[in-house]
Structure 1
Amino acid sequence: MSINIPKLPTIRDLDIREKKVLVRIDINSPIDPETGEILDDRRISVHGKYIKEMMKDYNPALVLISHQGRPGEGDFTSLEKHAELLSKYTGVTVKFVDDIIGPKAREEIRNLKPSEILLLENLRLLSEEIIEASPEKQALTMLVKKLSSNVDVYVNDAFATAHRSQPSIVGFPLSLPSCIGPVFEKEIQAITRILNSFESPRIYVLGGSKVRELLRVIENLMRNKLADRILATGLLAHLFLVAKGIDIGVENMKVLEEKGLLPLIPRARYILMRGAPIETPIDFKAKINGEVRNVYVGEIRGVIKDIGNNTVKIYGDLLKDAKVIVMRGPAGVIEEEEFRTGTLNLLESVYKSNAFTLIAGGHLGSMVDENRLNNRIHVSTGGNALLLFLSGEELPALKAMELSSKMFLGW
């Protein structure tokens, strides 16, 4: 069974040549809270590449908007350094203004000419951008009203925020002729290929910290018969091992308890009883008395930090024959050097495979070797948005774009 994805307008459906174009991008990046330095600029480089192409093909006057972090958190900061990196990756000087909807920002937008790029300050400095509401309500916000009157077209190129119903995502499409941008389009193309593929085997490698979301993804994959095998890693694997009645040790049970995951055991058990094709590790890497050891299921001691050598081989052999692969989340605690091996080995299997592969962003994306990528492997910029889409939820950004295409394009 396939999942229907709505037809979405792209920049080829709108006339943006030499127009003033407002582009919502997502350059939200990991920040060192001590120094304020950007630790991983992958999202910025991806957007830079496509902005460069947009400038070459259409010569618009681009007004870029994005967010960074959340108020009160260590990564909530200005976008000034992001502008410098965007200048580097686009080859065009990206002018930065420390304003969003005030007189200064609006004057800069009015004076912007074709071939020029302007980046406004962090959207989340505006309290409106923190609130989620319907597209109709968000179209009435100050952010949307003040900026809409100064631009011709809105482009949403922030797939990673597609699960948010905030003004910059769902408000502008009801106020301006709108479309998705090239980064967003690439994401939709990759997801469409994954969800509508009838090639087999289709293998999902699922791990990372978002266990509740992953259970929803698994339930949707089963409902729509989209996965032939699901290879569990990380906390998700621990949960399914417990659901199978396997002893993972007191320390690891405590980890599940601290993360509030014990109530999910009955749900995981029900998923297994319904015949979900879930594989769990047969061994793990754990630190015991300061020493890294390979421990087998049934005799686990210490806190599990990574999948073990034999699991890596079994999972790798399965990936070798796959036609479609989706990877989400690292297999181990990659913040610690000695527990990156499982994830790196699984990625190695992906590079060698002939499968079309979708690698979800976030921590896993930071582990990818850019030199090993090819047109078979798509590294997504969206973590939560991708998870929610795979779990069968409607993304607000897509709904807003559908409404816009009816209003302005007559679709």
Structure 2
Amino acid sequence: MSLKIPKVLTMDSFNFNNKYVLVRIDINSPIDPESKIILDDARFREHAKTIRELIEGEARITLTSHQGRPGDPDFTSLNGHAELLSSILGVEVKFIDDVCGPAAREAIRKLNPSEVLLLENVRFHSEELLERKPELQAKTYLVSKLTPLFNYFILDAFATAHRSQPSIVGFPLTLKSCAGRIMEAEIEALRKIYGEKEGRVFILGGSKIRDSLKIMENLLVNKVADKILLTGLLALVFLYAKDVRLNSQVVEVIKEKGLMGEIPKARELLRKYSEYIKMPIDGAIEVDGRRVEGDIESLKGRIMDIGVGTINLYREEIKNANTIIIRGPAGVIEKDEFRIGSEKIVKAAIESGAYIIFGGGHMRAIVDNITVSFHGHMSTGGGALLTFLSGEPLPGLEALAISAQKYLNSL
């Protein structure tokens, strides 16, 4: 498959000293619905790399981000986010409860070199909820009001790069723009996926079955995947499609989740690409609070993890990989007894010496429990990664590419 990743500029392309810089980050995080306390600071720590570099370069830094969606319990102000970011950076992050109005614009103008300002939740501004073409988003009130205040725009929100919203795709058309350090690392990881000529092993699990089927079709049609190892609910759907005798409880789960309509697609992929797709040969269920393993057809009850036979089978495939992409856990990782499959797969991948890309989310918790470092990349954006792997362009990347073409001659 030919590389689909557009050419974009990076932070190395510009000198931000004493310049006004708008940075779109993504610190959308899990929040306790009662206390409103932020439960996970992973994205804050990732973005700190870009922000610290700008602070050290004496830029005048304005950050914009979102939190939640209208109507959801985590749709809150970013006041607490500013406090948490301040503690991580070790410098004050000022906060203004305004997105692009007079108060926000005045606060931006007053910034001194190396000072940081966080604007209010950008989704409090209704225009941000609309997804449209970049040319239209560049003309929104949000973009038109903030653009005159800045010299540069940095897009560092890979996790939101699949959204064609004003704060993502509008500013690259009105300001000299580049990818932040998170975005740059994500782009390099994507290049790694498509750059290897052979030895690309995808380990797909989790519960997003429709997305996974789309991803699998794109990977197989375009010969990106040398092997796809299935786990979790996705594996059960394919086992059902292969006419493996699953117990009634497993079949009921497939029905309850409305996945019977996906069986024909899974069956079609197996018919065309069976030599590339590997499925579990055994699994684990819970009996009286204990983990009990057995072959797939003999198990009675909800299958909650892959078994040791499958772990060994997949370990052999992993040994020969040059690049490994892991998305979604292999089992019900909320229960310690059923984290085993996920942990063993991650350990095998790390020990293989291959370049590993983890799909973020649940995988971060597994990896953090096993090692502090590995050869590869932890993606910050599950949705964006899914969009790209399913063959669709990322609007955020496309907008940065337009900006690069527009402003390259003026550098």
Residue segments in structure 2 that go unaligned for 5+ positions in a row: none
Structure-to-structure mapping, 1:294-373, within 5 angstroms = 294-369=293-368, 372-373=371-372
Query: d(CA) in 1 for partners of 2:374 and 2:342?
Result: 21
The one-letter code sitting in structure 2 at the alignment partner of 1:305 is M
CA distance in 1, matches of 2:83, 2:73: 21
- What's 1:253 paired with? 251
User: Is the counterpart of residue 10 in structure 1 residue 10 in structure 2?
Assistant: yes
Q: Measure how far apart 1:389 and its partner are.
A: 0.7
1:239 alignment partner in structure 2: 237
Rounded to whole Å, the distance in 1 between the matches of 2:406 and 2:282 is 56
1:345-380 CA distance string (max 9 Å, x none): 211112212001111112212322277254622101
1:33 match: 33
The equivalent of 1:204 in structure 2 is 202
Q: Which moved more, 1:165-174 or 1:45-54?
A: 45-54
Aligned to 2:268: 270
What is the identity, as a one-letter code, of the residue corresponding to 1:269? R
Aligned to 1:293: 292
Unaligned runs of 5+ residues in structure 1 are: none
CA contact (8 A) 2:343 2:370 kept: no
Cα distance in 1 between the residues matched to 2:281 and 2:32: 36
Please tell me whether the aligned partners of residues 80 and 96 of structure 1 are also in contact (alpha carbons under 8 angstroms): yes
Aligned to 1:216: 214
**Other-structure match for 1:50:** 50
For 2:116, the equivalent position in structure 1 comes to 117
Quick one: distance in 2 between partners of 1:405 and 1:172? Answer: 12
Off by >6 Å, runs of 4+ in structure 1: none
Partner of 1:24: 24
Q: Distance in 2 between matches of 1:105 and 1:6?
A: 33
Alignment of 1:72-87 (within 5 A): 72-87=71-86
Q: Is the 8 A contact 1:288 1:301 kept in 2?
A: no
> Percent same amino acid among aligned pairs?
49
CA deviations over 1:263-309 (Å, ceiling 9, x no partner): 11111111011124111111112224554321321112111221122
The TM-score normalised by the length of structure 2 is: 0.95
Aligned-partner SS, 2:310: helix
Q: CA offsets, 1:194-251, max 9 Å, x none?
A: 21112x4221100112111111111111122111111101111011101110122222
CA contact (8 A) 1:29 1:43 kept: yes
Determine the C-alpha separation between the residues in 2 that align with 1:85 and 1:317: 43
8 Å CA contact retained: 2:204, 2:234: yes
Contact 1:49–1:89 (8 Å) recurs in 2: no
Secondary structure of 1:12's counterpart equals helix
Q: Give me the whole-angstrom Cα distance separating, in 2, the residues matched to 1:227 and 1:406.
A: 32
Aligned partner of 1:229 among 227, 230, 234: 227
Task: Name the aligned partner's letter for residue 360 of structure 1.
Answer: G
Q: Tell me whether 1:385 sits opposite 2:384 in the alignment.
A: yes
RMSD over equivalenced CA pairs, Å? 1.7
Q: CA deviation at 1:338?
A: 2.7
Secondary structure in 2 matching 1:208: coil
CA contact (8 A) 1:153 1:178 kept: yes
Deviations 1:149-204 (A, max 9, x none): 22211110011111100011011111111111111001101110121112x42211
